[in-house]
Amino acid sequence: MINLLLPGKGKNTETISRTVVKTLSYRLLIVSLDFLSIYWLSGKARIAIGFTIISNVYTTAGYFFHERIWNKIKWGKQAKL
Please state the domain extents for the chain: 16-69
Span 23-33, average pLDDT: 89
Give the percent of the chain with pLDDT over 70. Answer: 84
Residue 24's Cβ-side half-sphere holds a number of Cα atoms within 13 Å equal to 6
pLDDT at residue 9, rounded to an integer: 57
pLDDT (tens digit per residue) in 37-75: 999 999 999 999 999 998 888 888 898 899 899 988 888
* Cβ contact 38:48 at 8 Å: yes
pLDDT at residue 3, rounded to an integer: 55
* Cβ contact 12:79 at 8 Å: yes
pLDDT at residue 59, rounded to an integer: 85
End-to-end CA distance of the chain: 29
pLDDT band of residue 33 (cuts 50, 70, 90) is very high
